[in-house]
Chains A and B, each alone.
Chain A
Amino acid sequence: MSLAHPGLKTALSAAAAVAALLPCAVQAAEEIASFAVETEVKLVSDQRTRGVSDSLRGPGLQLSAQLAHESGVIAMAQLSTVSKKYYTNSDGYSLLLATGYRFGDPDGWHFGAGLAAEFFPGAKFDAPFAFDMETGTPADFRTTKYDTRYLVLEAGWGALEGRVVNVLSKSYRGANTGGVCGQMLQFMADPTKALECYARGDQNARGSLLVDLGYKYPITPQTQLLLHAGYQSVRHFSEGNFADYSVGVTHKAWGVQWTAEWMKASTRVRELYQAMDGSTVKAADKPALVLSAAYKF
């Protein structure tokens, strides 16, 4: 039945799709697979992270490969398109690499720990890290990249998944004094908040915490309700703190996972999530219904 039966294809796990792609994975028919690789391509109407659009509310494409070894070690690589306007000077994509270890009972308590690194090739911005109050001008211009490293801890019970992510790098997706205070200075009509931000001195975002809670409720064997709530606390820059929520439905048909999710981010300082699109300012945190289609190959 080859995974001529898409349903059984799902059942027979991630490994099924991939073995043929990797010569080293070839095993005798009687051996039980010791690892699996799964690859997926996903089209999205809006590439969002924590409810905020990375694609500046445009469509996106995501390619991912995930590996699981019988030891419990897992790894993944994920390429996603991003907006060159939102991630300035970007090559138009981001790369997420992660590895870790997972253990426990999928129907009961299970846990995981890992490291992740996110890269935005080419993306960088120049911003002032200080403001000269005497002359009333921005000062100390430096270049910041968006690249970020993370420590990931996960705990779940059945379909309820909790995740805490700690930012290890000095900058969190561009969040540092230049990124936060500079962005506020650029986009806020009243510079008072930006000047207050600069008054705190040169700070970084290492130690920021991202918390996520997700739940998948099976409506039918092919359809699930998706619930998500998250919160991010940006160290030294509370202006960047916000909660995000999403609710959606996912359904598998014709071998494709179809998903519709309503996503909302309750940002505190919306100017931090804006970008110039031509001559207009475009908000990346505007709530949206996000549609996606994912296919494993």
Chain B
Amino acid sequence: MKPGPIPLLFALAVATASTAALADGPDDAKGLWLTAERDAVLRFEPCADKPSALCGRVAWDKDAGKPNDTCGVQIAQLERYADGAWRDGWVFDPRDGKKYRGALRVKSGDLFLRAFIGAEILGQTEQLKRVDKLPSTPVCKP
């Protein structure tokens, strides 16, 4: 007899963190955030053409100046803040030019960016750390 499986049926959606959220305000998401692998910094701020929404762009890229430089690329736009999260928006993957639904939360001082298909349960979360300034090199050209 062989032991039964632990089917990975539902492994599609693995929340990498689910700490209980304290009530954070909509402004907490604004600023500079370093990706978990320390390869990019995203800047979240009110969208230029729609101040009620929150936009995210690549503010620093470790590959700045190289052919795969993504400095300045908009990677997220979230329309409204409700129930502790920026919602009703999208995140963008420049590599394949695809957009996914997105949600953004600040919990315990970290930023949790979730990209998902349909409902939030079918997605993945990236945890980002706040930084005060951009790394000195390489430099993203304006």
Contact = CB atoms under 8 A, between A and B. Distances in A.
A116 interface: yes
A7 B37 contact: yes
B10 A102 contact: yes
Contacts of A16: 93, 95-96, 98, 100, 115
Nearest to A16: B93
A212 B110 CA distance: 30
B51 interface: no
Contacts of B3: 49-52, 173, 232, 242, 244, 265, 273
A70 B119 contact: yes
Contacts of B4: 49-50, 148, 150, 165, 167, 172-173, 208, 210, 232
A279 to B, nearest CB: 22
A72 interface: yes
Interface in A41-57: 49-52, 54
Contact of A105 (B39, B40, B93, B121): B121
Contacts of A173: 1-4
Interface in B75-110: 75, 90-101, 110
Contacts of B73: 1
A118 interface: yes
Interface in B1-54: 1-21, 35-40
Nearest to B128: A221
A159 B10 CA distance: 13
Contacts of A12: 91-93, 100, 115, 124, 126
A80 to B, nearest CB: 9
Nearest to A223: B36
A1 B1 contact: no
Interface string A140-180: 00000010101010100011010101010000111100011
A159 B7 contact: no
Interface string A245-274: 000000011000000000001000000110
Interface residues of A, number: 99
Contact of B75 (A8, A210, A212, A244): A8
A70 B117 contact: yes
A14 interface: yes
Interface string A196-236: 00000000000010101000101011101000001010100
B75 A33 contact: no
A71 B116 CA distance: 12
A220 B126 CA distance: 11
Contact of A221 (B20, B90, B92, B110): B110
A252 B19 CA distance: 20
A106 B10 contact: no
Contact of B96 (A11, A19, A69): A19
A17 B71 CA distance: 21
Interface of A: 1-8, 10-16, 19-20, 27, 29-36, 38, 49-52, 54, 64, 66-72, 74, 76, 78, 86-87, 96, 98-100, 102-107, 110, 112, 114, 116, 118, 146, 148, 150, 152, 154, 158-159, 161, 163, 165, 167, 172-175, 179-180, 183, 208, 210, 212, 216, 218, 220-222, 224, 230, 232, 234, 237, 240, 242, 244, 252-253, 265, 272-273
21 contacts: A4-B63, A7-B36, A8-B126, A10-B36, A13-B123, A15-B98, A16-B100, A33-B117, A35-B117, A36-B12, A52-B2, A69-B117, A70-B119, A72-B118, A114-B7, A152-B9, A158-B18, A158-B19, A179-B1, A230-B6, A273-B3
Interface of B: 1-21, 35-40, 58, 61-63, 68, 70, 73, 75, 90-101, 110, 113-129
